Structure 1
Amino acid sequence: MKYLLSILLTLFLSPALTKAQFMIRGSVMHRSGAIAHATIQAHTVTAVADEAGNFILRELPAGKTALHISAAGYGEKDTTLELRSDTLLTIQLERLAPDMQEIVVSGTLKAVSRQDSPVPVEVYTARYFKANPTPSLFDALQNINGVRPQLNCNICNTGDIHINGLEGPYTMILIDGMPIVSGLSTVYGLSGIPQSLTERVEIVKGPASTLYGSEAVGGLVNIITHKPGNTPALSVDVFGTSWRELNADLASGFRVGKKLRGLAGINYFNYSSPFDHNHDGFTDVTLQHRVSVFNKWELDRKNGRLFSLAGRYVHEDRWGGEFNWNKKFRGGDSVYGESIYTRRWELFGAYELPVKEKMQLLFSANGHDQNSAYGMIPFDARQYIGFLQLTWNKTLNRHDLTSGTALRYTYYDDNTPATATQPERTWLPGVFVQDEITLNENNKLLAGLRYDYNSIHGSILTPRLNYKWNSPDKNNTLRFSIGNGYRVAQVFTEDHAALTGAREVIFMEALKPETSWNTNINFVKRIYTTSGGMIGLDATAFYTYFNNKIIADYDSNPKEIRFQNLSGHAVSRGVSLNLDLALISGLKLLAGATYMDVYSVEDQVRTRQLFTEKFTGVWNIGYQFPKWGLSIDYTGNVYSPMRLPLLSDTDPRPEFSPWWSIQNIQLTKKIGPELELYGGIKNLLNWTPGRGLPFLIARANDPFDKQVQFDADGKAAVTADNPYGLTFDPSYVYAPNQGIRGFLGIRWNRTAFKK
């Protein structure tokens, strides 16, 4: 009966309530300009400011209205006004020291301000990546100092992420703190992560095995997805390029009932027009058709406890090869092509236990199914990973304790001899503990220890120690860390390059887990100008020493890739510097440079690592013209020479790549509070790796080696038809093979929605 009365009252009173509803339209500003993406809350209505700081709050009741305004990097503000009509409002926020409001979780497994974290964590927001829009996270990371997306094949365009010169298997990719991308998906899963679901990316450089286990030797990339409660009601982002690429992102935040909030997103990418600008008869870039669907839910629980559940599904069809290839040639030996069908699903979530202590359960599961043909070599593989982790956080006086236990199960099976007798099943239980000790207001010490038991390799112990000092004004921060890491060989990760040529994988021995010791020193300095600008400096020196490093030998035999543990040692060392400049005039600059030396030593012979530059630099320069609603962004990177694999002593290609650079420019125009147009030019210098070379792909005219003659040792012989003694091989690759192109896009955000 009471529900019926409520309904009747609502029906009778709704006209009156409708008449008493008003709107607040306004902007969030700082003396240096507009504040983008600020959150404005009033009653049950939430709005997110656009790039120009503008927002709209609709359907507000008359009377006293309390507003809460917050934005990353700025002090929060509360204000109250009497609402009796539609209102125009300007809100001023004061800037805090950078990092003070940036909350990170990757360094210590708990949410802390970036400034307070004893572990240096780099944070890049979705706004940063919009300066150079790309269809996937893999491409987006190209303008982060010390991080490089590395292409591993000229034909299928497989790739991985290098951190400070260490190859992809040393980098752990997380989504919301969970190891979603690993093993098989390290190669093909990265391109399926769209920017549309990314709120920010956190990067930790150096071993993180104490908290995250295997694969986090070189560092980790943690993709933090949007929270449903902070997502616009509807956002659309579509762009295309002069190479006939099309990328579309659609996302929506919504509420179901009073306690359940949701986020749904879909990404569509299509590139189906092949180009052969270098005239070698092969596609310059892999053709792709990809759909990625993402859904995330959050439940409002008692006492603000967390419960979130998310899922993602990716379907991709990609191929590269001879220009006249089509699917009827798939798996045959008449026209060469590399065709990969990928189906991938992921489910992951977090649940805070309903107990007095702060305990949280993380869980995830994913499956990766791949059906491939590399020329006439078929490759079918399946990988399933399950993950559980329970953490407990307890504060006792000056001690902030975090402990936990984790369990990871990996199932892997393919059609190669590696799993011919039975699929590979790996159990990896582990326990860890860390203690963050506040010595005083300006000094912190963090000590951690992890124990894992790998069902194949046995017990593994990984300790770490971190120290942080900051000046009383928080403008100077010094961090020192030392830690141990380990890595277990992943079958597909180690041998996938062999499938794209005539190379055979040879495991010279039963591979042992790699171990490493890393130390780094990080110093951050902030300088504030009298006019309200800010200059930030972030310098790091790093050193990593490896035992049992797994080495891929491309040089001993051009028909093989030999894997074995290094009997000597390997070193990765270097220095990096980031410069962050923001002026009241509207100029923003983020630039960085890294110098590194990565090599191995065996039998007193020092060998420089393949595919690794000594110097890299990146920049992101932006300028705003508020009067015209216009902004310009100039982004780019530059790399020094890398050592590349040659196939014979007579191979005419140089052993080292030249200096090279990819540069981009973009203009963005605001049209009203919810719409913006953007466009520009990518690869302004029209740089491609084949420039100045006799060829990029070896023996592209004979991809099945039908005309190659071999000597008694199995090596290609020099003949009139093969003057350099080569076999077909696409592994001589160090840069994207896509030239200059224009792009044009549109973004539309419906920024106000009912919370």
Structure 2
Amino acid sequence: MLALSNIFVSMKLFILYLILLSSLLFAQTDSIKIDSVKTNLVDSFKNQKDIDEVTITQFSVKKLNSPISTDVYSQQFFRKNPTPNIFESIAMVNGVKPQLNCSVCNTGDIHINGLEGAYTMILIDGMPIVSSLSTVYGLSGIPNSLVDRIEITKGPASSIFGSEAMGGVINIITKNALQAPNFSADLMTGNQGEINLDIAKKVIDNKNFSSLLSINYFYFGNRIDQNKDNFTDTALQNRISVFNKWNFKRKENRLASFALRYFYEDRFGGEMQWKKENRGSDDVYGESIYTNRFELFGIYQLPTKEKLLLQYSYNYHDQNSFYGNTPYMATQKVLFLQLNWEKQLGKHNLKSGISYKSNFYDDNTPGTANSSGQNQPMKSPITGIYLEDEWEINDKNMLLLGYRYDYHKIHKSVHSPRLAWKFEPNPYNTLRLSFGTGFRVVNLFTEDHAALTGSREVIIKEDLKPEKSLNTNLSYLMKIPVNNYFINVDINGFYSYFNNKIIGDFDSQPDKIIYNNLSGHAISRGVSAEISTNWTLPIQLMFGITYMDVYQENKGDKIQQLHAPKWSGTYNLSYQFANKFSLDWTGQFYGPMRLPTVPDDFRPEYSPWFTLMNIQLTKKFDNGFEIYGGIRNLLNFTPKNPILRPFDPFDNNVDDIASNPYSYTFDTTYGYAPMQGIRTFLGIRYQIR
């Protein structure tokens, strides 16, 4: 706690320094320009709603005016460090960590506040289109080109999203075909040979509807082994994503849109000499993954006096994978329907809805086998209903009361209440407090990649019960006026208590993963803070830091969560030159995190402090062109020994006491950061409005 108090003291001194610096350098400036409108900020911000509307810095981030603390990040924010997909881009958000779960094929998930990826609900246009199987294999297939903005709620979300959003919600809002440019293109490459191409064209645009077609292609085919362990440092990837969205113009501005997307990927990681004919054999080790995925989703506002919205989505995901000679063949189909009703009654904004979700999942693992060993696909329909009242009590207080009821085929009735309060004592301070419960049914084989590598045997000790949690979040947003500018300070505290938490025991036996319900309890708690500038001065900055303590406690023993560093953060500094050049310096830093070691492991149990630093220079032209380039991983950091016994991937010589006195087995789960060292990138964008 002493270290934590020192951090807050340092933050206060840093804020004071910024205020003094700004006062000295810019005391004569009376106005700024936001979205091409010249405004005197202090005079115009007469109430909190005005401040919320313009809390959009050149980083393109804002806070929604809601009792639930939600941050909105535009596509421009992620262009500070351009990457080919959402999975890599999301690392720029404080408290959010894309975690690589395999040092060979580089699949992973997204952690919020230290909780594993399965605790985060990922939505596209507000719908649960990202199924559990695709949270492992499909996140890298969501290109930035189809994204208009991303809304992130850290911690448990409102009752509308459902009880399974224990860790938070990432809502990816796709581009509106009515407002999208007529044509846009983005081509990026790097010194290691990767190629990323995004092309979008408005194929139809008339008075009734518009249609946007977007194609993303990514290719990386170079086998690079800089650490000389005879394994590819980065998985080879060949993937394509085709996206088509239709938006309709209707009377009284009623909503109507639908979208289709197809995604295919051929991914490989393994020994340098692996060839396609070695797929599935025990001659040469390779992890080869073919992914086929189709998505359909849309929204339609009924032509009625009452505001009724119908949301629908369907996705089909086919997985054809080999981890050495261990096959993993899986299929998942998810249908989602929800009818929403919304009405404003005085100071009450009422929302209600009914939903139906049908989930079909089948694979070749013990996860879908019955007691006699026969294959039994999982079919789990869930019917739900929710009620929510957002009550604006007065100018300073807003209360949200929510309740959701779900009926699960196996676990029967699930109740999820939600309470949130927003307090605005003045235009420059906002306090948010939320409380609720969570519920989650686990599918081990789609959520824990370690169960699929073939390097460990999976043992399920009992019939697993669903996880339950109690959670609360406290958020404080402060806007510090500096002449005609603002410095934003955002502080968030979070706490979650879990019963029946399902854990994987990696420690008892090095060749096994043993799953059971925790007889004790688990806790995720911590605090995050972020400071950013809100002005149009040439220099902009954003700095975030998170402290968290994520652990499980059983019979007095406290065990830290794997891959959950107690300290982490992000930094983002931009400078705008007069000749349309801009410079962006971005990065993330992480403190020691516990790693899945084996008994008598020669590798340290905790990772070192490290940072992944990037720098980019961009030049914009008046004719719609934009050229950018830079350096990633500027300090050339890569983890050491991410693969145990890479020279014996099939464990043929494990029992050789002379060469293997500690009985180590092949293991790929130790990696905690990308194996790509320092590298350069160069790209060009073009847009026709």
User: When the two structures are superposed, what TM-score results if normalisation uses the length of structure 2?
Assistant: 0.91
Which portions of structure 1, spanning 4 or more consecutive aligned residues, are displaced by more than 4 angstroms? 30-35, 73-76, 95-98
Q: Is the alpha carbon distance of 1:616 and 1:333 closer, same or farther for their aligned partners in structure 2, counting shifts above 3 Å?
A: same
Which has the larger displacement, 371-380 or 502-511?
502-511
Q: Is the 8 A contact 2:260 2:296 kept in 1?
A: yes
Q: Is the 8 A contact 2:136 2:447 kept in 1?
A: no
CA drift of 1:297 comes to 0.4
Question: Helix, strand or coil: the match of 1:153?
Answer: coil
Provide the residue aligned with 1:249 in structure 2: 198
Provide the residue aligned with 1:620 in structure 2: 572
- Deviation string 1:268-317 (CA, Å, 9 cap, x unpaired) is 10000110000000000001001001110011112111110001110000
CA drift of 1:495 comes to 4.3
Q: Which one of 647, 660, 669 corresponds to residue 701 of structure 1?
A: 647
CA drift of 1:528 comes to 2.7
Question: Helix, strand or coil: the match of 2:470?
Answer: strand
**d(CA) in 2 for partners of 1:74, 1:244:** 50
Question: Helix, strand or coil: the match of 1:211?
Answer: helix
2:688 pairs with 1:735: no
**Amino acid in structure 1 at the alignment position of 2:574:** G
**d(CA) in 1 for partners of 2:357, 2:678:** 44
Provide the residue aligned with 1:57 in structure 2: none
2:470 pairs with 1:481: no
2:219 pairs with 1:273: no
**Amino acid in structure 1 at the alignment position of 2:404:** R
Q: Is the 8 A contact 1:517 1:546 kept in 2?
A: yes
Note the 1:467-546 alignment, pairs <5 A. 467-472=421-426, 474-530=427-483, 532-546=484-498
Q: Which one of 638, 660, 667 corresponds to residue 688 of structure 1?
A: 638
2:571 pairs with 1:629: no
CA drift of 1:564 comes to 1.0
Q: Is the 8 A contact 1:32 1:585 kept in 2?
A: no
CA drift of 1:70 comes to 12
Q: Is the 8 A contact 2:178 2:205 kept in 1?
A: no
CA drift of 1:509 comes to 1.2
Question: Helix, strand or coil: the match of 1:440?
Answer: coil
Question: Helix, strand or coil: the match of 1:162?
Answer: strand
**Amino acid in structure 2 at the alignment position of 1:418:** G
Provide the residue aligned with 1:4 in structure 2: none
Q: Is the 8 A contact 2:163 2:437 kept in 1?
A: no
**d(CA) in 2 for partners of 1:483, 1:682:** 40
Provide the residue aligned with 1:5 in structure 2: none
2:335 pairs with 1:386: yes
Q: Which one of 238, 258, 276 corresponds to residue 289 of structure 1?
A: 238
**d(CA) in 2 for partners of 1:489, 1:495:** 10
Q: Is the 8 A contact 1:412 1:424 kept in 2?
A: yes
Which has the larger displacement, 559-568 or 285-294?
559-568
CA drift of 1:706 comes to 0.8
- Deviation string 1:54-81 (CA, Å, 9 cap, x unpaired) is xxxxxxxxxxxxxxx999x9999xxxxx
**d(CA) in 2 for partners of 1:440, 1:98:** 17
Q: Is the 8 A contact 2:642 2:669 kept in 1?
A: no
**d(CA) in 1 for partners of 2:392, 2:537:** 39
- Deviation string 1:462-514 (CA, Å, 9 cap, x unpaired) is 10100001134x22111111111111112423443122142111111111111
Question: Helix, strand or coil: the match of 2:52?
Answer: coil
Q: Is the alpha carbon distance of 1:375 and 1:201 closer, same or farther for their aligned partners in structure 2, counting shifts above 3 Å?
A: same
Provide the residue aligned with 1:670 in structure 2: 620
Question: Helix, strand or coil: the match of 1:138?
Answer: helix
**Amino acid in structure 1 at the alignment position of 2:440:** R
**Amino acid in structure 2 at the alignment position of 1:143:** M
Query: Number of residue pairs matched?
Result: 647
CA drift of 1:578 comes to 0.8
Q: Is the 8 A contact 1:551 1:565 kept in 2?
A: yes
Q: Is the alpha carbon distance of 1:486 and 1:745 closer, same or farther for their aligned partners in structure 2, counting shifts above 3 Å?
A: same
Q: Is the alpha carbon distance of 1:33 and 1:622 closer, same or farther for their aligned partners in structure 2, counting shifts above 3 Å?
A: farther
Q: Is the 8 A contact 1:75 1:96 kept in 2?
A: no
Provide the residue aligned with 2:376 in structure 1: 422
Q: Which one of 436, 452, 456 corresponds to residue 390 of structure 2?
A: 436
Question: Helix, strand or coil: the match of 2:84?
Answer: coil
- Deviation string 1:656-681 (CA, Å, 9 cap, x unpaired) is 11111100000001122411110000
Provide the residue aligned with 1:218 in structure 2: 167
Q: Is the alpha carbon distance of 1:501 and 1:75 closer, same or farther for their aligned partners in structure 2, counting shifts above 3 Å?
A: farther
Question: Helix, strand or coil: the match of 1:595?
Answer: strand
Q: Is the 8 A contact 2:133 2:447 kept in 1?
A: no
Provide the residue aligned with 2:403 in structure 1: 449
Question: Helix, strand or coil: the match of 1:497?
Answer: helix
Note the 1:27-42 alignment, pairs <5 A. none
Q: Is the 8 A contact 2:357 2:381 kept in 1?
A: yes
Provide the residue aligned with 2:684 in structure 1: 746
Q: Is the alpha carbon distance of 1:31 and 1:345 closer, same or farther for their aligned partners in structure 2, counting shifts above 3 Å?
A: farther
- Deviation string 1:443-467 (CA, Å, 9 cap, x unpaired) is 1111111111111111110101000
CA drift of 1:526 comes to 1.0
Provide the residue aligned with 2:629 in structure 1: 679
Provide the residue aligned with 1:363 in structure 2: 312
Q: Is the 8 A contact 1:527 1:535 kept in 2?
A: yes
Question: Helix, strand or coil: the match of 1:745?
Answer: strand
Provide the residue aligned with 1:642 in structure 2: 593
> What's the C-alpha RMSD, in Å, of the aligned pairs?
2.2
Provide the residue aligned with 1:26 in structure 2: none
Q: Is the 8 A contact 1:180 1:346 kept in 2?
A: yes
Q: Is the 8 A contact 2:297 2:313 kept in 1?
A: yes
**d(CA) in 2 for partners of 1:239, 1:623:** 22
Q: Is the 8 A contact 1:32 1:584 kept in 2?
A: no
**d(CA) in 2 for partners of 1:174, 1:426:** 19
- Deviation string 1:713-737 (CA, Å, 9 cap, x unpaired) is xxxxx71121332000101111111
In our comparison, the structure showing a higher alpha carbon Rg is 1
Question: Helix, strand or coil: the match of 1:99?
Answer: helix
**d(CA) in 1 for partners of 2:590, 2:235:** 23
Provide the residue aligned with 2:85 in structure 1: 136
Question: Helix, strand or coil: the match of 2:380?
Answer: strand
Note the 1:62-77 alignment, pairs <5 A. none
Q: Is the 8 A contact 1:241 1:742 kept in 2?
A: yes
CA drift of 1:187 comes to 0.1
Note the 1:545-564 alignment, pairs <5 A. 545-564=497-516
**Amino acid in structure 1 at the alignment position of 2:529:** L
Provide the residue aligned with 2:4 in structure 1: none
Q: Is the 8 A contact 1:632 1:667 kept in 2?
A: yes
**d(CA) in 1 for partners of 2:87, 2:658:** 42
CA drift of 1:558 comes to 1.1
**Amino acid in structure 1 at the alignment position of 2:647:** N
**d(CA) in 2 for partners of 1:416, 1:738:** 32
Q: Is the alpha carbon distance of 1:269 and 1:70 closer, same or farther for their aligned partners in structure 2, counting shifts above 3 Å?
A: farther
- Deviation string 1:691-711 (CA, Å, 9 cap, x unpaired) is xxxx321110010001112xx
Q: Is the 8 A contact 1:201 1:223 kept in 2?
A: yes
- Deviation string 1:356-382 (CA, Å, 9 cap, x unpaired) is 011101000000001001000111110
Q: Is the alpha carbon distance of 1:687 and 1:114 closer, same or farther for their aligned partners in structure 2, counting shifts above 3 Å?
A: closer
Note the 1:219-238 alignment, pairs <5 A. 219-238=168-187
**d(CA) in 1 for partners of 2:259, 2:92:** 28
Question: Helix, strand or coil: the match of 2:128?
Answer: strand
**Amino acid in structure 2 at the alignment position of 1:721:** S
2:292 pairs with 1:343: yes
2:280 pairs with 1:327: no
**d(CA) in 2 for partners of 1:137, 1:115:** 21
Q: Is the 8 A contact 1:618 1:636 kept in 2?
A: yes
Q: Which one of 135, 151, 163 corresponds to residue 202 of structure 1?
A: 151
Q: Is the 8 A contact 2:445 2:451 kept in 1?
A: no
Q: Is the alpha carbon distance of 1:115 and 1:340 closer, same or farther for their aligned partners in structure 2, counting shifts above 3 Å?
A: closer
Q: Which one of 96, 105, 115 corresponds to residue 156 of structure 1?
A: 105
CA drift of 1:566 comes to 0.8
Which has the larger displacement, 659-668 or 213-222?
213-222
**d(CA) in 2 for partners of 1:743, 1:588:** 23
**Amino acid in structure 1 at the alignment position of 2:476:** F
